[in-house]
Amino acid sequence: MHEVAFNRSVFISSTSRGLNSYREQIVEMLRAHDIAAIEQRSFKPEQEDALKLINNAILRATGVICLVGPYFGVPKDKMNEDMSPRLSYTQWECLLAMRLGLKPLIYVLEDAFFEDQGGIQDEAELYPELPDSLYFRKWQNDFRKHLAIDCGRGSIKTPSELWRRLAMINWEKWPTK
């Protein structure tokens, strides 16, 4: 078996909760098009240099795919004193890709997307050890609305709609820097 040299790479950003299987399928889709996949799950939030590793990976990538679901993910910093929203690592990855002009493929997933997976759980149940967990869901919903409405990204209601949109990508032309 020979190694394939990849000229293009895509950073895949999403929370692990509810999206692992989708991320794995996207990795396979990219490999089928000779595109290397860089997964955010390679970086552990508790690592001291996690943000630096993420930033470097996105800077090296020729493209970014962001799956933005209902879960906030892991906060990248401590609570803001004024209780203003802070960013999760996945939010940071998405915003960084946009700021760098990488034209990321951003898929805002509605709550209905997860109905086949048993629905959405409350963040307070998921992260009882974090005193501010009640704010996470609101911050994530605000972020999703911003992407869907203000950035004109729209939203996705079903997994089949996600796969349809991914199938419409011209993989010969995307991603390129």
Q: Per residue in 149-168, pLDDT tens?
A: 877 788 999 999 999 999 99
Assigned domain for 154 exists: yes
In a domain, 157, yes or no: yes
Asked if residue 128 has a cis previous peptide bond (ω within 30° of 0), the answer is no
Sign of the dihedral through C-alpha 172, 173, 175, 176? positive
**Is 174 within the bounds of a domain?**
no
Does some domain include residue 25? yes
Residues 70, 73, 76, 80, CA torsion sign? positive
Where in the sequence is the domain holding 108, given as residue range(s)?
Answer: 8-167
Q: How far is it, in rounded angstroms, from Cα 8 to Cα 34?
A: 8
Q: What is the pLDDT of residues 104-152, one digit of tens each?
A: 999 999 988 887 665 555 555 555 445 556 677 788 889 999 998 877 7
Question: How far is 140 from 90, CA to CA, in rounded Å?
Answer: 10
- Quote the number of domains for the chain: 1
Top pLDDT among 166 and 42 is at 166
- pLDDT for 163: 95
Q: Order the strands of the 105-108 sheet from edge to edge.
A: 35-39, 8-13, 63-68, 105-108
CATH of the domain at 60: 3.40.50
Task: Write down the pLDDT at residue 156.
Answer: 93
Looking at residue 2, what is its pLDDT?
Answer: 44
